[in-house]
Amino acid sequence: MKTETILTIFSAAFGFLSSSYFIAGSIAMSAKSIQNISGSYWNYNKHIARSLSCQRAEYISGATYLGLSFFFQLLVALTPRSFLEHQPLSSYNSACLIFLILTGTIYLSFCIRKFLYKSTYKKVLRERKKEEEEYQRRKASWSPKKKIT
């Protein structure tokens, strides 16, 4: 194995490791924790909740694509050179294919990010509603009852 291949494999392995930490950190930030953070002081703050939901969606999307990029890097490093040197398409067709793949990937990434953001924010709102109902229930049980005379 060449030194270049060994270094590429190490690079890809560390890339997988870093993306797994991004993913773990993003997944650990649940809708409940976002709701707790956004409602810590002075009642609920919808702007913080939206910001944290957006941040979570971007982290998950970014970490996923980072992991995929290292996977493809590792795939290239482990693929035999004879296969990589084979050129099935003309230069023009290859350029068109690359353009279509990049355009599709960028569009798909925006759609996934938007979906993750909306689903996380909906979960945060559900958690907020549950907490508000719990608060109202507790508040009703704390209030003094009127005596009937």
Contacts of 11 (CB under 8 A, 6+ apart): 70, 73
Residue 29 CA to residue 122 CA, distance in Å, equals 14
- pTM for this entry: 0.63
pLDDT at 77: 76
What does the angle CA 11 – CA 17 – CA 20 come to, to the nearest 5 degrees?
140
Low-confidence ranges of the chain (pLDDT < 70): 1-7, 9-10, 40-42, 84, 143-149
pLDDT at 145: 61
Domain assignments of the chain as residue spans, ordered by start: 3-80+88-123
Render 32-81 in DSSP notation, one character per residue. HHHHHHHTSSSS--HHHHHHHHHHHHHHHHHHHHHHHHHHHHHHHHHS-H
Burial category of 80 from C-beta neighbours within 10 Å (exposed 0-12, middle 13-18, buried 19 and up)? exposed
Residue 77 CA to residue 84 CA, distance in Å, equals 10
pLDDT tens for each residue of 70-94: 777 777 777 777 776 777 777 778 7
pLDDT at 149: 58
pLDDT at 98: 78
Q: What is the DSSP code (8-state) at residue 149?
A: -
pLDDT at 122: 92
Do 15 and 73 meet the contact criterion of CB atoms below 8 Å apart? yes
